[in-house]
Amino acid sequence: MPRSQISALVTILLAAAAARVFSFGTEGTGSAGSGKLVEIRILGTKEYTSEEVVRASGLEKGKIVTHDDCRAASRRLARSGGFSHVSYTLSTLGPNAIVTFALKDAETFLAIRYENFVWASDAELNAWLAARIPLFHGRVTRSEELLRSVETSLTDWLAARGVRGTVISRPHATAGGAKVDAQSFIVQGVAVKIREVEWLDAPNMSPAGRAEVASLLVGTDYESTAVRETAELAVHKTYEAQGRVRATIGAPRVRIASGGDALDVVLSIPVREGPVYRLGDIELKGVSAQEMQPLLHAKRGEVVNTSALLDDMTNVRQAVSGQGFFAVQVTPGYRYHDELGTLDYVITVEPGPLYHMGTLTIEGVPEASRARLAEKWKLKPGDVYLPHVLDEFLRDTFEPSLGKRVLSRTDRADGNIVNVTLHYE
């Protein structure tokens, strides 16, 4: 066949193939709607390998594939919870077919916390789930269908071991509830109580620290997150006063002391105490070190005590705020010199914008009293706002006849303005 005819034939075939591409949800017609599957292409995912997605789709190369097959495969991928978008195209060239999945990974993948699974390790539970849930990587998304599948599979795991319980889940948020960072799975129907707390490799753990943790945990329901958070707080409180600012705990270990539908467990908490540090230098960033130095009470050469550092930070914050920087932020940091056994305090101060006085609103008193109180207010609109002025005003103008208490509110407005409201009750 002449080269020109071959080129023309290829062009015709490519055009025909292009005309036979169908998006998810579009019905095909005639032979263009099916073919022998010779290739599956995976686009868009960073979380999963192509092999994992192909396996989860249920499609098999070498078999005849139709749009119904592709739609069913797309639904399987969507139900996995791993993707926020799934679509496909089915291309045919002669008797053969190519399926391309266009995917977008879920926006959030959350760590799993097995809160009171005292019968097995996290690795064993992850392996169980991976064998039963498509595309399971040891994390979950916010997909309700995925979460229910994990709960059901874990309940099955309990039943296989003769444990009469069911599994529920709940989101775990960071301190203050600002962000969900994990999903907790909890066994219900089996009481798991902490009988005893042991400390491992913790010769310098104070008796008071041990007693505090025992009082908080012994007799309570075992949940790994609560245990770890309580232990970490106790370790920091005890060891930071000793200059062991790098003290940490390892993963708490659980030993079943008695069985049945009500379990007692012994909790062992390993500790890495770390070295004792002395204070080297104090560095202030963002403000005049000379001006703030008298406010710092930590002494060079002394054993580091972070509670003293926090007191010094409070002094600095109040001093800078008192200059009109209403939104000042003070952040602590450490610079370690392990070879010397010292660390430096690095205190970073971000004063933010200078704020000015806006309006003063006085509520809950007669007009004559309102005018008299307003005359005693020392800041005029446009003056630099000084927080101590409010404290002094409340102290110097308090009159029981005007109210048993005064509620004060400061609101920041556009233009770095502070509006003050006083309500007498």
pLDDT band at 315 (very low <50, low <70, confident <90, very high): confident
Most confident of 152-156, 203-207, 311-315, 329-333: 152-156
Global pTM value: 0.71
pLDDT of residue 20 exceeding 70 = no
Q: What is the pLDDT of residue 127?
A: 97
CATH: 3.10.20.310, 3.30.950.10, 3.40.50.300, 1.10.3720.10. Which one for 3-105? Answer: 3.10.20.310
Q: Looking at residue 134, what DSSP letter applies?
A: T
Annotated domain spans of the chain: 3-105, 110-188, 191-272, 278-350, 356-424
Tokens of 292: 């703030």
pLDDT tens, residue by residue, 184-240: 999 999 999 999 999 999 999 989 889 989 999 999 999 999 999 999 988 988 898
Whether 3-105 and 356-424 share one fold: the answer is yes
pLDDT tens, residue by residue, 249-284: 999 999 998 876 679 999 999 999 999 999 999 888
**56, HSE (Cβ side, Cα atoms, 13 Å):** 27
The Cα–Cα gap between 416 and 356 comes to 6
Environment class of residue 19 by beta-carbon count within 10 Å: exposed (0-12), middle (13-18) or buried (19+)?
Answer: exposed
CATH 3.10.20.310 fits 278-350, yes or no: yes
What architecture does CATH give domain 356-424? Roll (3.10)
pLDDT, greater one: 36 or 317: 36
Q: What is the pLDDT of residue 177?
A: 67
CATH 3.10.20.310 fits 110-188, yes or no: yes
Q: What is the pLDDT of residue 344?
A: 93
Q: Which fold has domain 191-272?
A: Ubiquitin-like (UB roll) (3.10.20)
pLDDT tens, residue by residue, 127-169: 999 999 999 999 999 999 999 999 999 999 999 999 999 999 9
CB atoms within 10 A of CB 4: 8
Terminal-to-terminal C-alpha distance of the chain: 101
